[in-house]
Amino acid sequence: MPISALTREDLIALDRADTLASFRERFSLPAGVIYLDGNSLGAMPRATAGRVSTMVEQEWGTGLIRSWNDAGWMDLPGRIADKIGRLIGAVPGGMAVGDSTSVNLFKLLGAALAARPERRVILTERGNFPTDLYIAQGLSKLLAQGHEVRMVAPDDIAAALDDSVAVLMLTHVNYHTGAMFNMSGLTEAAHAAGALTVWDLAHSAGAVPVDLAGADADFAIGCGYKYLNGGPGAPAFLYVAPRLLADACFPITGWWGHAAPFSFEAVFRPADGIARATVGTAPIISIAALEVGVDLALEAPMAAVRAKSVAMTDVFARLVQQRCAGHGLEIISPADAAKRGSQVSVAHPNAYPVMQALIAHNVIGDFRAPDVLRFGMTPLYLGFAELWDAVEVLRRVLAEETWKRPQFNVRRSVT
Ligand SMILES: *Cc1c(COP(=O)(O)O)cnc(C)c1O
């Protein structure tokens, strides 16, 4: 890429050289829309509608309950879980799919605290995603043993790892800023302090390289509906290092976690493997939809996805600086690509109406309180020239003050 000012022609050249360009047509995206919100809700793979319709009409409609055996529904959750595991470097046998990210966090955090009964601190980042903080607070209150959720600044985490810390609970890529933690370094530091780790991969799975096995991570969770393109409210995933499974004690013990669910025993006995981290009947239709997105992600080499993601976040940040100077924007994502996930966050005092105006002009990103415009880069279905066009709309919305119109200043429930 040239060091001088970028032109739209430069970006068209990048699109021509893009080895991932053919993935775009595998997604259903409305014409004219520039979608920069795949970090929040991934786009729909074209094959999803057919897969879901076959499942609903044939497997459910005709096969009825026989499909648990005949259509392989029993094996479906484990199969998709293992596929997601390949995207994030999981040790085989540690992955399960189902429930929401929030609920999976509750389960794994509960198991982690039970494994460190003499310690009382859950260490995390103050800027972590709220549900992660709320789950930790709720669990601490429920346990009523004096647990504390200690929230520190990102740079203070390593120093805060002392012998009171039971669990280091972090989101690998911060939802607000896009800043990415060094997973292996912090996991090693946590282990050296005698603590366990729970990593939230909501903004990592399918977006950045993750090597749970290489980092010797203990527990992890993540979303199916962001970069995995599983659809709204898609089932989440969880990971427990198999070395911890035999002693792991989960706070929700449902019949799918039992050693023999169809023995209908009166007393809970945990399953040997990762099944003990599951709870109840898996959402089969949603898992089928998720598999389509995961299969697409597995087709794309992660090195190419990361290279394109880094190029896109670099280009977007440069274009914002180059074309929107003087309009009060401040890029808050790390400038160093090695410390950044697949998004660019830009602060502006009027971020909410600015984003509403962008969306009205078919540039879809999102707003995060109090003042951030969030732009997610999804290498599988986004092109470089679209970044130029998006920044051009941003420039016009700011220069022409379109965002001041009353309709863009009405707060809606989802931002
Ligand atoms: C998106 C996200 C979640 C979402 O949790 P749900 O239970 O699916 O609503 C949780 N944690 C982080 C860090 C996220 O980014």
- Residue 209 has a pLDDT of 98
- Residue 413 has a pLDDT of 86
Alpha helices per DSSP H over 144-254? 157-160, 183-192, 212-215, 242-245
**Ligand 1 atom nearest 226 alpha carbon:** 1
> What does the alpha-carbon distance between residue 300 and residue 305 come to, in Å, rounded to a whole number?
7
- Residue 412 has a pLDDT of 86
Instruction: Give the Cβ contact number of residue 142 at 10 Å.
Output: 12
Residues of the chain with pLDDT under 70: 1-3
For ligand 1, the distance from its centroid to the CA atom of residue 415, given in whole angstroms, is: 15
Contact between residue 317 and residue 335 where contact means Cβ atoms under 8 Å apart: yes
Does residue 129 have an active-site annotation? yes
Which residues have C-beta atoms less than 6 Å from ligand 1? 100-102, 129, 131-132, 171, 175, 200, 202-203, 223, 236
- Tens-place pLDDT, residues 226-266: 999 999 999 999 999 999 999 999 999 999 999 999 999 99
Residue to mutate (ligand 1; options 37, 106, 175, 342; most atoms within 8 A of CB): 175
- Residue 382 has a pLDDT of 98
Alpha helices per DSSP H over 2-92? 8-16, 46-54, 67-70, 76-87
Q: Which of these is catalytic: 225, 250, 352, 381? A: 225
Contact between residue 344 and residue 320 where contact means Cβ atoms under 8 Å apart: yes
- Residue 398 has a pLDDT of 98
Residue 38: enclosing H or E segment and its boundaries?
none
Q: Which of these is catalytic: 374, 375, 381, 395? A: 374
Which protein residue has the closest C-alpha to ligand 1 atom 2? 202
- Residue 211 has a pLDDT of 98
> Is 0.85 surpassed by the pTM of this model?
yes
For ligand 1, the distance from its centroid to the CA atom of residue 38, given in whole angstroms, is: 14
Instruction: Give the Cβ contact number of residue 411 at 10 Å.
Output: 9
**Ligand 1 atom nearest 225 alpha carbon:** 8
> What does the alpha-carbon distance between residue 141 and residue 139 come to, in Å, rounded to a whole number?
5
For ligand 1, the distance from its centroid to the CA atom of residue 129, given in whole angstroms, is: 7
